Structure 1
Amino acid sequence: MKELMILSRLLEYPDAALWQHQQEVHAALAESDVLSKEDAQSLCVFVRDLTQKDVLDVQADYSELFDRGRATSLLLFEHVHGESRDRGQAMVDLMAQYAQHGLELDSRELPDHLPLYLEYLAQLPRDEALGGLQDIAPILALLSARLQQRESRYAVLFDVLLKLASTEVDSQKVAEKIADEARDDTPQALDAVWEEEQVKFFADQGCAESDIAAHQRRFAGAVAPQYLNISTGGER
């Protein structure tokens, strides 16, 4: 599905290629027989607004939005397992899934990065691709709500992905989940996380286990439909 490939590119760290090829993106969206005209137009407006700004400013905004704190992280397992020891096995399983479909990762890429996952889905038959979107619909809904709360234009990308998934998500449960959340991207919040990590680091020095084993257990889990317990169903 070329639409998933476009959305993957729009969610990646922005670079000059988008500015250079924006007209091609507009043309591909206009020709889509998967997106509604309204959604295609919304994405075109997103691209237009983004590329009207200087690329360095857009890059700075992107890093502020997605790389500070965990609430809007584009790492899928961050919203499923966090620092749980289940995360590592999930990474291994997902990489094996990619490999079965000929997708090779370089050493800098984490398999649960949303743009990479969308690129993978884009290579699959349409029904399988939409099934993969349905699996992560609760995460997409949560990210969409948080981005709307922050008045970010990136929210529209998640709204389009949710429409493609055609899965109902309980918006009331999403709203309740984020209602009392404190921002985790403020200097104070980031300092608190750093201090917590320091405490964990020094506490771990007394453990007999190897650092490698401890690291491996921090990252584990598998993508599962229940994620945040906010999905109310949907047909594949």
Structure 2
Amino acid sequence: MSLFSRIRPARPARDEPLTPGQAAERALLMRLLSLLLQYPDAELAAAAPELAAAVADLPPSPAADHLARFTAWFLRQPAHAREMHYVDVFDLRRRSGLHLTYYLHGDTRRRGTALLALARSYRAHGWETADGELPDHLPVALEFAALMGPGPGEAPLRRHRRGIRLIHHALDDLESPYRHLLASLLALLPPPTAADREAVRRLAADGPPAEQVGLHPYGRPQTEPAPLTDPEDPR
């Protein structure tokens, strides 16, 4: 079974100044990003040649170029190396975690409210996340964008673009090939404003809001505020 069958065909966006071909291409880019940002399990590894071929067939663009750089790396790596690298950069480092509401709300009550609002927004558009998936997980938000189009579908990505930019900076500092996936996504989002750049700088320096009530991005309790740095990570 093709890995693309995990995701239903994208619906056309309403009131978007895109041709049908452009809308389909953008949906495919979002779908590819959603798949490639998931944990590289055996199913994803088996589908890697198919995904790389889909990337190679994309019309030239900055987003497609970054995707091609990532898939070239992905195809060269042994399975265990891909898995270890994914866990290292996404599961063991707060600055490059993939749960978007953390960057906006930190470990506060407001994060729980934001997660609930996001899940309700998905349901209002006739879509449910899989069991156990938080609605703010970046691959989930990308899947929703692929399904619903640049208007309502990409609204969660635009709302959390500062967190996405911070993840990209963290991956770039680590020289992780996954930085190309974030760069590809950023090429599809509105360019940053001066306020965006300043907010990302503050997030990198100070971390998100801290409060000892709410959800940790990976479900683990905390006993003290958590800046976006790792005690054993000098970067």
The TM-score, its normalising length taken from structure 1, stands at: 0.69
* Corresponding residue for residue 139 of structure 1: 163
* Corresponding residue for residue 36 of structure 2: 10
Instruction: Assess, with a 3 A threshold, how the Cα gap between structure 1 residues 132 and 31 changes in structure 2: closer, same or farther.
Output: farther
Q: Deviations over 1:139-191 (max 9, x none)?
A: 11111111111111111111111110133244853674477579xxxxxxxxx
Is 1:157 aligned with 2:181? yes
Is 1:69 aligned with 2:86? no
Q: How far does residue 16 in structure 1 lie from its aligned partner after superposition?
A: 2.1
* Corresponding residue for residue 107 of structure 1: 131
Q: Deviations over 1:116-144 (max 9, x none)?
A: 11111111133444444322221111111
User: Which runs of at least 4 in structure 1 moved beyond 6 Å after TM superposition?
Assistant: none
Q: CA RMSD in A?
A: 2.7
Q: Deviations over 1:15-41 (max 9, x none)?
A: 1223322232123223335x60x4323
Q: Distance between the aligned counterparts of 2:29 and 2:224, measured in 1? A: 45
Q: Deviations over 1:190-231 (max 9, x none)?
A: xxxxxx93589xxxxxxxxxxxxxxxxxxxxxxxxxxxxxxx
Secondary structure of the 1:197 match is coil
Secondary structure of the 2:94 match is coil
Q: Distance between the aligned counterparts of 1:179 and 1:198, measured in 2? A: 21
* Corresponding residue for residue 227 of structure 1: none
Task: Give the structure with higher Rg (CA).
Answer: 1
Residues 193-204 of structure 1 correspond to what in structure 2 (within 5 A)?
Answer: 197=222
Amino acid of the structure 2 residue aligned with 1:94:
L
* Corresponding residue for residue 23 of structure 1: 49
Secondary structure of the 2:168 match is helix
Q: Distance between the aligned counterparts of 2:158 and 2:132, measured in 1? A: 27
Gaps of 5+ in 1: 183-195, 201-236
Residues 25-174 of structure 1 correspond to what in structure 2 (within 5 A)?
Answer: 25-33=51-59, 36=61, 38-170=62-194, 173=198
Identity of aligned residues (%): 30
Q: Which has the higher mean CA deviation after the structures are superposed, 139-148 or 166-175?
A: 166-175
* Number of residue pairs matched by the alignment: 185
Q: Distance between the aligned counterparts of 2:48 and 2:91, measured in 1? A: 25
Instruction: Assess, with a 3 A threshold, how the Cα gap between structure 1 residues 75 and 178 changes in structure 2: closer, same or farther.
Output: closer
Gaps of 5+ in 2: 1-26, 208-220, 226-235
Contact 1:74–1:114 (CA under 8 A) maintained in structure 2 = yes
Q: Distance between the aligned counterparts of 1:17 and 1:52, measured in 2? A: 16
